[in-house]
Amino acid sequence: MPNDSRQHPNADVRMRGFAERISTDAAFAWLNAELDRQGRLPLEVVALDGAAGRVLAEKVTSKVNVPDFQRAMMDGYALRAEDIAAASSQTPIEIEVLANCFPGKSFDGTVGPGQAVRIMTGAPLPAGVDSVLPVELTRTIDQRVSAIASLPAGKNLGSVGEDVGCGDHLLSPGRVLRPQDIGLLFSIGRSHVSVVRRPRVRIVVTGDELLPAGAQPQGNRIVDANGPMLLALVARDGGVPNHPGIVADNPEAILAAISEDADVILTSGGSSVGQEDHVPTLLAKHGQLAVHGVAMRPAGPIGMGVLNDRLVILLPGNPVACLWGYDLLAGHAIRQLGGRGADWPYRKYVGRLTRDLVSPVGRLDYVRVAISEGNVTPVTSSGASVLSSTTRADGFLVIPTETEGYAAAADVEVFLYD
Amino acid sequence: MPNDSRQHPNADVRMRGFAERISTDAAFAWLNAELDRQGRLPLEVVALDGAAGRVLAEKVTSKVNVPDFQRAMMDGYALRAEDIAAASSQTPIEIEVLANCFPGKSFDGTVGPGQAVRIMTGAPLPAGVDSVLPVELTRTIDQRVSAIASLPAGKNLGSVGEDVGCGDHLLSPGRVLRPQDIGLLFSIGRSHVSVVRRPRVRIVVTGDELLPAGAQPQGNRIVDANGPMLLALVARDGGVPNHPGIVADNPEAILAAISEDADVILTSGGSSVGQEDHVPTLLAKHGQLAVHGVAMRPAGPIGMGVLNDRLVILLPGNPVACLWGYDLLAGHAIRQLGGRGADWPYRKYVGRLTRDLVSPVGRLDYVRVAISEGNVTPVTSSGASVLSSTTRADGFLVIPTETEGYAAAADVEVFLYD
């Protein structure tokens, strides 16, 4: 644990400011060690038709051939190639059509020399033939069909197991299931699949100044923006959020909320070192407050720890800090517990910075930016309480801890919010 | 209509092959004209907490200030800056603390000269003060608090409307709502929002050779992969799919299915010109078969038209062709009807081709590729019936109509399936 010394297990330590903040590297070192310790969540078996986007938890091997029969790959005539070896548009060779052969319905007779069966794409190949002559290479006059070209034996046939062979290894654990994966799994006869259970995330929003989402702001109270924002973020990252409402700003209510059954607890508000910041104190007393205060802006007052063997992440109440703290640490944890990659779900964009950006060495900075015609311009309002700055922004860039910033006209990498 | 002449309104024209295929450009020209004619779908009002990812259909202007009061931006002491103008760590100035002021609770008295109120971040500023001195700039000995630094008036205050001003224009129609947008909308007192209705997409899978998804493949029958794959693709593109089951391969059942209420009808199977390909014939007879046969591979037999004023897209039954036909044309249409951008939802990647790729001028080719260490290698099995080739692939590249292909070692743009 990098900073057990920063725990403050009694209420005397109040409004003292953060004596010291650990680096984001140290914060990630603790978090990744904790995620390694927990491992990914156990699997669950779900119906395949709701499994797109889920993370596969099994190795999929086929127990069947797809198809399990030889089939026509074109609409045309199933015949023996040798019978029409001399056919051309100048010297058409007439063929005797015995029957029609449709997908799913086999022709039970045998096709003899000079004979053929009219066959549709996907239909099983009758006995006695070796090729399918496409309809485009035939001519029909008065019900009499002639081949106007030859073809090699075996042409336009799909073989047994052409798509999937019995025993083929198809998909590996960790795969985020794609639409075509779902189709393939159904095609080999699957109806259910083992996937990583989605992390259940309890969102604990505190603050007596907050009105519940859906209310009108009034007087000295503001409406909770963080709860609904975190709900959407958790769902985006493959978690199952649970946010039953604002939690009263007292130790008993908060302790009860952060003790509820979940895979991850996210708190919003009361994460700092002020008199009403109960969450760090409670976590230190009843569990472990491993990280409290990280050298970054915004979201410096973020905390992390463990309670009842569950990961708890303390997000600041300022909505911009809440968003950034979520994206940097909480989303990382939720995606990993659910078996997903650590990478942000944001697309990247490289553009030219329109003005200098300065950041002290030793602190990581999150900078909202607007993009216009390849130019990247920091969004002017930078207060951590100005949520509208994150909706005006097209994305953000990160100034790493060891970097002093970027000069105007530098090419910078932006993560897009769209 | 680029190719009304290609309609075949009677059943005599069967198994004739496509006399001519129109270019993908011409196919898009027809589709985009039809999408322009239909316009985006009408709006609907939905609860905000389920609106992340939906497409905004209104201009959002705030009717309130957020916040509607002046507030502290730091934990500290609300006071008059002039009272501590001479404070420093060498010359601390003691301040008289009258009360505590928490978020959501105002201090009703007035703060006089030399006095202060202990204030928490977010709490409303009491009357009579002009600044918040951060706790880090104070020293507390035996309950007596001293300022150890000065600060300018107005410091660490959040003003009325700092986040959102009454009358501010916040979001415009067409915005795909982000987690922070949901938070912001709640913060201005919204509980519902107008969004573009999601396109209802009826998936009509035909083919007597098909067993329903969830069954075991047996004999000459294969399990439907296209229906579940299309369900997942439509949902990914913001549509609401409806696929009640495989439709019997007869004209009455198919006509009933493609006549059902929906915004878009997607058919799979029976789209070509074979004897059992009822869908084009029915569409030509009862509506308009505007496009049938497009110069591309796979999915050449794709069709498009209108029935009961609704867009109908005829996808081939071969699963690779179904996937590609969906992605090229159907997904484009569904995203646009739902107010989304035309762009593919796939990330792009540029890598080096490991071997020549040849494609005739006049035909657009879809090529599945695997990526390894920056190398882009075409997936060897290229049959349109081999769905497993699309699950082995990391993505695909497109060889445009007018291009003869790419030489080995060329840099190519790949669209990633992940």
B260-304 confidence digits (pLDDT tens):
999 999 999 877 666 668 999 999 999 999 999 999 999 999 999
Hey, are the CB atoms on B232 and A105 less than 8 Å from each other?
no
Predicted confidence (pLDDT) at residue A252 exceeds the cutoff of 90? yes
CA distance B177 to B48: 10
ipTM given for this complex: 0.91
Residue B396 and residue B377 in contact, taking contact as beta carbons nearer than 8 Å: no
**What mean pLDDT comes out for the span B2-13?**
34
Hey, are the CB atoms on A417 and B180 less than 8 Å from each other?
yes
Q: Which of A103, A164, A176 sits opposite B207 (nearest CB)?
A: A103
In chain A, residues with a C-beta closer than 8 Å to the C-beta of B348 are: none
Q: Chain B residue closest to A241 (CA)?
A: B49
Cβ pairs A/B, distance under 8 A = 284
pLDDT single digits (tens) A138-148: 999 988 999 99
Q: From the candidates A97, A132, A137, A163, which should be mutated to test the interface with B, based on the most B CB atoms within 10 A? A: A163
In chain B, residues with a C-beta closer than 8 Å to the C-beta of A180 are: 229, 319, 323, 387, 390-391, 417
In chain A, residues with a C-beta closer than 8 Å to the C-beta of B395 are: none
Predicted confidence (pLDDT) at residue A7 exceeds the cutoff of 90? no
The verdict on B292 and B313 lying in the same domain is yes
Nearest to B21 by CA among B272, B197, B218, B241: B272
The verdict on B107 and B146 lying in the same domain is yes
The verdict on A131 and A202 lying in the same domain is no
Q: Exposed, middle or buried: residue B158 (CB in 10 Å: 0-12, 13-18, 19+)?
A: buried
Report the mean per-residue pLDDT for chain B: 92
Residue B411: beta bridge partners?
A: B352
pLDDT single digits (tens) A288-317: 999 999 999 999 999 999 999 999 999 999
Q: Which of B186, B191, B385 sits opposite A163 (nearest CB)?
A: B385
Residue A353: beta bridge partners?
A: A376
CA atoms within 13 A on the CB side of A353: 21
The verdict on B171 and B208 lying in the same domain is no
Predicted confidence (pLDDT) at residue B18 exceeds the cutoff of 90? no
CA distance B31 to B291: 9
**What is the extent of the structural domain holding A52?**
44-66+162-196
Question: How far is A185 from chain B, CA to nearest CA, in Å?
Answer: 8
pLDDT single digits (tens) A255-282: 999 999 999 999 998 776 666 689 999 9
Residue A217 and residue B66 in contact, taking contact as beta carbons nearer than 8 Å: yes
Domain at B192, CATH number: 3.90.105.10
CA distance A239 to A418: 20
Q: Chain A residue closest to B125 (CA)?
A: A220
Q: Assign A6 a pLDDT band (cuts: 50, 70, 90).
A: very low
In chain A, residues with a C-beta closer than 8 Å to the C-beta of B136 are: 17
Q: Exposed, middle or buried: residue B340 (CB in 10 Å: 0-12, 13-18, 19+)?
A: buried
In chain A, residues with a C-beta closer than 8 Å to the C-beta of B187 are: 217, 222-223, 225, 319, 387
Question: How far is A310 from chain B, CA to nearest CA, in Å?
Answer: 25
**What mean pLDDT comes out for the span A368-391?**
92
Q: Which of B122, B214, B233 sits opposite A209 (nearest CB)?
A: B122
User: A342 lies in a domain?
Assistant: no
Q: What per-residue confidence (pLDDT) applies to B16?
A: 47
Q: From the candidates A45, A159, A186, A343, which should be mutated to test the interface with B, based on the most B CB atoms within 10 A? A: A186
- Helix/strand/coil percent split, chain A, to 5: 20, 30, 45
Q: The tokens of B323 are what? A: 């996937």
Residue A180 and residue A53 in contact, taking contact as beta carbons nearer than 8 Å: no
Judge if pTM exceeds 0.90.
yes
Q: From the candidates B229, B340, B380, which should be mutated to test the interface with A, based on the most A CB atoms within 10 A? A: B229
Predicted confidence (pLDDT) at residue A46 exceeds the cutoff of 50? yes
The DSSP code for A81 is G
Hey, are the CB atoms on B69 and A220 less than 8 Å from each other?
yes
CA distance B94 to B114: 8
Q: The tokens of A12 are what? A: 């005397």
Q: What H or E segment, with its residue span, contains residue B196?
A: strand B192-196
Question: How far is A123 from chain B, CA to nearest CA, in Å?
Answer: 8
Q: Assign A121 a pLDDT band (cuts: 50, 70, 90).
A: confident
Domain at B374, CATH number: 2.40.340.10
Q: Exposed, middle or buried: residue B339 (CB in 10 Å: 0-12, 13-18, 19+)?
A: buried
User: Sign of the CA dihedral B35, B38, B39, B40?
Assistant: negative
Measure Cα distances from B114 to B91, B107, B129, B133, B226 in Å: 15, 17, 10, 13, 77
User: B342 lies in a domain?
Assistant: no
User: A97 lies in a domain?
Assistant: yes
Hey, are the CB atoms on A207 and B104 less than 8 Å from each other?
yes
Hey, are the CB atoms on A121 and B383 less than 8 Å from each other?
no
Q: From the candidates A187, A216, A368, which should be mutated to test the interface with B, based on the most B CB atoms within 10 A? A: A187
User: A324 lies in a domain?
Assistant: yes
In chain B, residues with a C-beta closer than 8 Å to the C-beta of A105 are: 208-209, 220
Q: How many domains in chain A?
A: 4
Hey, are the CB atoms on A236 and B209 less than 8 Å from each other?
no
**What mean pLDDT comes out for the span B386-397?**
97
In chain A, residues with a C-beta closer than 8 Å to the C-beta of B416 are: none
Q: What per-residue confidence (pLDDT) applies to B188?
A: 98
Hey, are the CB atoms on B274 and A75 less than 8 Å from each other?
yes
Judged by average pLDDT, the poorest of A33-37, B271-275, B377-381 is B271-275
Domain at A140, CATH number: 2.170.190.11
The verdict on B214 and B299 lying in the same domain is yes
Domain boundary among B302, B337, B372: B337
The DSSP code for A379 is -
In chain A, residues with a C-beta closer than 8 Å to the C-beta of B123 are: 209
The verdict on A192 and A60 lying in the same domain is yes
| Beta carbons within 8 Å of A397's beta carbon, 6+ residues apart | A357, A367, A369, A376, A412, A413, A414, A415
Nearest to A275 by CA among A307, A257, A249, A253: A249
Q: What per-residue confidence (pLDDT) applies to A102?
A: 84
Predicted confidence (pLDDT) at residue A14 exceeds the cutoff of 80? no
Residue A52 and residue A176 in contact, taking contact as beta carbons nearer than 8 Å: no
Report the mean per-residue pLDDT for chain A: 92
- The radius of gyration of chain B's CA atoms, rounded to the nearest angstrom, is 32
Predicted confidence (pLDDT) at residue A203 exceeds the cutoff of 50? yes
Q: Which of A164, A222, A272 sits opposite B187 (nearest CB)?
A: A222
Q: Which of B135, B176, B228 sits opposite A418 (nearest CB)?
A: B176
Q: What per-residue confidence (pLDDT) applies to B145?
A: 93
**What mean pLDDT comes out for the span B112-119?**
93
The verdict on A203 and A333 lying in the same domain is yes
Predicted confidence (pLDDT) at residue B127 exceeds the cutoff of 50? yes
Domain boundary among B337, B372, B401: B337
The verdict on A230 and A307 lying in the same domain is yes
Nearest to B345 by CA among B257, B201, B191, B233: B233
Hey, are the CB atoms on A223 and B103 less than 8 Å from each other?
no
pLDDT single digits (tens) A67-88: 999 999 888 999 999 999 999 9
Hey, are the CB atoms on B48 and A226 less than 8 Å from each other?
no
Hey, are the CB atoms on A189 and B215 less than 8 Å from each other?
yes
The proportion of chain A whose per-residue pLDDT surpasses 70, expressed as a percent, equals 94
* Phi then psi dihedrals of residue B3, to 5 deg: -150, 50
Domain boundary among A280, A315, A337: A337
Q: The tokens of B296 are what? A: 């591309």
Q: Chain B residue closest to A193 (CA)?
A: B214
Question: How far is A196 from chain B, CA to nearest CA, in Å?
Answer: 17
Hey, are the CB atoms on B213 and A49 less than 8 Å from each other?
yes
**Total residue count of chain B as it appears in this document:** 418
Q: The tokens of B237 are what? A: 């593109």
Hey, are the CB atoms on A275 and B215 less than 8 Å from each other?
no
Burial A345-383 (b: 16+ CB within 10 A, else e): eeeebebebeeebebeeebbbbbbbbbeeeebbbbeeee
CA distance B41 to B105: 46
Hey, are the CB atoms on A182 and B52 less than 8 Å from each other?
no
pLDDT single digits (tens) B313-335: 999 999 999 999 999 999 999 99
E-strand ranges in A107-177 read 115-119, 131-134, 138-141, 144-147, 157-158, 169-171
In chain B, residues with a C-beta closer than 8 Å to the C-beta of A208 are: 102-105
User: A380 lies in a domain?
Assistant: yes
Q: From the candidates A211, A222, A250, A326, which should be mutated to test the interface with B, based on the most B CB atoms within 10 A? A: A222
Q: What per-residue confidence (pLDDT) applies to B112?
A: 92
The verdict on A357 and A225 lying in the same domain is no
Q: From the candidates B388, B392, B394, B416, which should be mutated to test the interface with A, based on the most A CB atoms within 10 A? A: B388
User: A343 lies in a domain?
Assistant: no
Q: What per-residue confidence (pLDDT) applies to B262?
A: 98
pLDDT single digits (tens) A213-248: 999 999 999 999 999 999 999 999 999 999 999 999
Q: Assign A13 a pLDDT band (cuts: 50, 70, 90).
A: very low
The verdict on B183 and B49 lying in the same domain is yes
Q: Exposed, middle or buried: residue B384 (CB in 10 Å: 0-12, 13-18, 19+)?
A: buried
User: B343 lies in a domain?
Assistant: no
How distant is the alpha carbon of residue A175 from its chain centre? Answer: 10
Domain at B203, CATH number: 3.40.980.10
Q: Assign B407 a pLDDT band (cuts: 50, 70, 90).
A: very high
The proportion of chain B whose per-residue pLDDT surpasses 90, expressed as a percent, equals 85
Q: What per-residue confidence (pLDDT) applies to A274?
A: 64
**What mean pLDDT comes out for the span B367-387?**
91
E-strand ranges in B279-403 read 288-292, 296-297, 303-307, 310-315, 348-353, 357-358, 364-372, 375-378, 395-399
Q: From the candidates B133, B178, B234, which should be mutated to test the interface with A, based on the most A CB atoms within 10 A? A: B178
The verdict on B186 and B228 lying in the same domain is no
Question: How far is B90 from chain A, CA to nearest CA, in Å?
Answer: 19
Between B273 and A188, whose confidence is greater?
A188
Question: How far is B278 from chain A, CA to nearest CA, in Å?
Answer: 13
Predicted confidence (pLDDT) at residue B6 exceeds the cutoff of 50? no
Q: The tokens of A105 are what? A: 């319905």
The verdict on B168 and B209 lying in the same domain is no
In chain B, residues with a C-beta closer than 8 Å to the C-beta of A213 are: 48-49, 186, 191
User: A181 lies in a domain?
Assistant: yes
The DSSP code for A216 is P
The DSSP code for B326 is I
Burial A245-257 (b: 16+ CB within 10 A, else e): ebbebeeeebbeb
In chain A, residues with a C-beta closer than 8 Å to the C-beta of B46 are: none
Q: Which of B162, B187, B386 sits opposite A162 (nearest CB)?
A: B386
pLDDT single digits (tens) B293-317: 999 999 999 999 999 999 999 999 9
